């Protein structure tokens, strides 16, 4: 594999070239950088930046000069795009100047954009914990925004505490980005009561339910559902269930070429290479220490690779929540994210290998998600240390009672008391378990690993028994 080039070195070159609106030759770049790079090394860096469409070259031989890519898009075009956004209401996401350039480029007619294929250099230039798509100051800001009351509790505690709200918000918002027409109220009725909205396509209903299952998997199995190839493939299996033309492609790396509608980007086609790169992407993501950088890396590189025949962006949006759930940070629900803004940002990655616009959308979306959950956080009671200590035992007891068809009574709980509950804690444990049964319903039974049908059968039996 070629040597990984830190983005800092590439940024240094881009910043220098930007100071010369009419362009600068390689000799001038060498003199002004003052580095120990050989001419060949600098040529490779410049070629890489041209691949990424961050700079362009003009002329030949001694007259060859490099200019900043922003000159490709005339300022008047950017202003036209901004005006169109204001008319359509798409201008709510705060976009950086770099993001505006990307948006203006991808909004051009398809025939005006240069066809591009998958470039492995984009991945090779990233070095976990050295490269940073999100600057340190921005990561600090996101950490401050996303802190939850469950910060010092076991992984996934906060997500479990707000699971009902998260199921509705994330299922609805992520599906909406795919063109799903369910309203938030329709989504709530479907998730809470199983009521499909009238007049909606069955595939839209399936998409919502698939999101629900995938989110429950991430929250319920926090210890197993980490950043790993197995977890990402499982997410695809959940999210694509009943939606793939060929059922055998559900939860499998693709073995045939795909095209991206409305884009000039052509993803990698070789199955063996695709599987290899999928493993590299996930392993690199797993090495990243900061949960926000890890989250954003997955949002960038999973769609860019397109490892599955379809549903890749949905997988990346839920995968982006894995590190946030594990660190008990506020989840990323994508509430109120405009579809066009998200599409433009992903196209910027596909066609330009540039992340600035997607970063703008990511940060705006996370701030919006945190605002949504502020009230939820304030309503959460302080963690019960006794409950935390016996969290696994409590789950085991509730599950045993339900699956055994028993009443949620003191007698039943004492009969299946886990051996790890100490003698002096047993009375308190029984009281806590009884309280859990008083508040147990279809919406929160998932916390104990109970499937909806299991809970429904238990509730029906206990209702009949008086």
pLDDT tens readout for residues 442-453? 777 888 888 888
pLDDT tens readout for residues 160-208? 777 888 899 999 999 999 999 999 999 999 999 999 999 999 999 999 9
pLDDT tens readout for residues 345-398? 999 999 999 999 999 999 999 999 988 876 565 555 555 678 778 888 999 999
Beta pairing partners, 66: 24, 57
Confidence band of 311 (pLDDT split at 50, 70, 90): very high
Mean pLDDT: which of 136-140, 279-283, 459-463 is highest?
A: 279-283
The DSSP line for 113-130 is SPPEE--THHHHT--TTT
Structure token pair of residue 208: 């919502």
Structure token pair of residue 206: 């399936």
Query: Given this chain, do its domains 7-71 and 110-378 carry the same CATH topology?
Result: no
Spatial CB neighbours of 99, under 8 Å, sequence gap ≥ 6 = 345, 348, 356, 357, 359, 360
| pLDDT at residue 198, rounded to an integer | 93
| pLDDT at residue 4, rounded to an integer | 47
Q: How many other CB atoms sit within 10 Å of the CB of residue 88? A: 10
The percent of residues in the chain predicted with pLDDT above 90, rounded, is 55
pLDDT tens readout for residues 226-269? 999 999 999 999 999 999 999 999 999 999 999 998 999 999 99
Confidence band of 83 (pLDDT split at 50, 70, 90): low
DSSP state of 460: H
| pLDDT at residue 9, rounded to an integer | 77
Q: What is the dihedral of CA 135, 136, 138, 144, to 10 degrees?
A: 160
Q: How is the chain split into domains, by residue range?
A: 7-71, 110-378, 385-464
pLDDT tens readout for residues 196-216? 999 999 999 999 999 999 999
Beta pairing partners, 117: 266
Residue 293: pLDDT over 60:
yes
Find the mean pLDDT for residues 82-90. 55
Residue 1: pLDDT over 50:
no
| pLDDT at residue 2, rounded to an integer | 40
Look at the block and give the residue holding tokens 């019960």: 384
Mean pLDDT: which of 11-15, 22-26, 137-141, 146-150 is highest?
A: 137-141
Q: How far apart are CA 36 and CA 30, in angstroms?
A: 9
Find the mean pLDDT for residues 92-113. 91
| pLDDT at residue 15, rounded to an integer | 82
pLDDT tens readout for residues 326-342? 998 999 999 999 999 99
| pLDDT at residue 87, rounded to an integer | 47
Look at the block and give the residue holding tokens 């996303």: 146
Find the mean pLDDT for residues 106-119. 92
Pick the CATH number of 110-378 from 3.90.1640.30, 1.10.3290.10, 1.10.167.10, 3.30.70.270: 1.10.3290.10
Specify the range with the lowest mean pLDDT, choosing from 61-70, 205-214, 403-412.
61-70
Confidence band of 137 (pLDDT split at 50, 70, 90): very high
Q: How far apart are CA 318 and CA 221, in angstroms?
A: 14
Check residues 81 and 272 and name the one with the higher pLDDT.
Answer: 272
Q: At what angle do helices 291-305 and 339-352 cross, to 10 degrees?
A: 70
* Residue (of 4, 22, 41, 2) closest to 13 by Cα position: 41
Specify the range with the lowest mean pLDDT, choosing from 109-113, 287-291, 365-369, 435-439.
435-439
Spatial CB neighbours of 383, under 8 Å, sequence gap ≥ 6 = 149, 150, 152, 153, 157
Confidence band of 289 (pLDDT split at 50, 70, 90): very high
Specify the range with the lowest mean pLDDT, choosing from 120-134, 214-228, 291-305.
214-228
| pLDDT at residue 442, rounded to an integer | 79
Q: How far apart are CA 205 and CA 190, in angstroms?
A: 8
Residue 88: pLDDT over 70:
no
Find the mean pLDDT for residues 134-143. 94
Write the class of the CATH domain 7-71. Answer: mainly alpha
- Compute CA 134 distance to the chain's CA centroid, rounded to the nearest angstrom: 15
Find the mean pLDDT for residues 220-228. 85
DSSP state of 246: S
């Amino acid at each position: 594999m070629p040597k990984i080039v830190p983005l800092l070195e590439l940024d240094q070159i881009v910043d220098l070239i930007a100071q010369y609106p009419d362009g600068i030759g390689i000799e001038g770049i060498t003199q002004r950088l003052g580095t120990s790079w050989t001419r060949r090394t600098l040529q490779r860096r410049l070629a890489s930046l041209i691949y990424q469409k961050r700079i362009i070259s003009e002329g030949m031989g001694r007259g060859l000069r490099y200019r900043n890519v922003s000159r490709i898009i005339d300022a008047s075009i950017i202003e036209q795009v901004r005006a169109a956004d204001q008319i359509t209401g798409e201008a709510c996401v705060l976009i950086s100047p770099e993001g505006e350039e990307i948006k203006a480029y991808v909004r051009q007619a398809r025939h005006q954009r240069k066809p591009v294929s998958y470039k492995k250099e984009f991945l090779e230039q990233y070095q976990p914990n050295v490269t940073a798509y999100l600057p340190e100051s921005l990561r600090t800001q996101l950490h401050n925004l996303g802190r939850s009351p469950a910060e010092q509790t076991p992984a996934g505690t906060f997500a479990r505490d707000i699971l009902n709200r998260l199921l509705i918000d994330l299922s609805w918002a992520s599906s909406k980005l795919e063109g799903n027409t369910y309203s938030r109220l329709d989504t709530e009725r479907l998730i809470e009561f199983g009521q499909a909205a009238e007049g909606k396509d069955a595939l839209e209903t399936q998409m919502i339910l698939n999101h629900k299952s995938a989110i429950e998997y991430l929250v319920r199995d926090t210890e197993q559902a980490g950043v790993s190839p197995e977890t990402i493939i499982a997410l695809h299996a959940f999210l694509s269930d009943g939606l793939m033309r060929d059922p055998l492609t559900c939860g499998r790396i693709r073995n045939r070429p795909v095209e991206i509608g409305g884009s000039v980007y052509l993803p990698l086609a070789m199955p063996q290479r695709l599987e290899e790169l999928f493993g590299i992407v996930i392993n690199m993501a797993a090495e990243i220490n900061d949960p926000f950088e890890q989250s954003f890396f997955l949002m960038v590189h999973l769609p860019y690779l397109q490892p599955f025949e379809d549903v890749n962006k949905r997988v990346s949006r839920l995968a982006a929540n894995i590190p946030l759930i594990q660190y008990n940070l506020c989840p990323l629900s994508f509430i109120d994210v405009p579809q066009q803004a998200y599409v433009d940002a992903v196209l910027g990655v596909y066609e330009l290998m540039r992340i600035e616009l997607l970063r703008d959308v990511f940060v705006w979306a996370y701030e919006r998600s945190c605002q949504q959950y502020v009230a939820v956080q304030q309503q959460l009671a302080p963690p019960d240390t006794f409950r935390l200590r016996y969290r696994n035992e409590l789950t085991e007891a509730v599950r045993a009672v339900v699956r055994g068809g028993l009443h949620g009574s003191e007698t039943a709980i004492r009969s299946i008391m886990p051996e790890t509950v100490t003698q002096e804690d047993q009375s308190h444990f029984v009281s806590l378990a009884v309280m859990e049964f008083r508040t147990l319903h279809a919406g929160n039974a998932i916390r104990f690993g109970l499937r909806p049908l299991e809970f429904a059968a238990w509730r029906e039996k206990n209702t009949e028994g008086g």
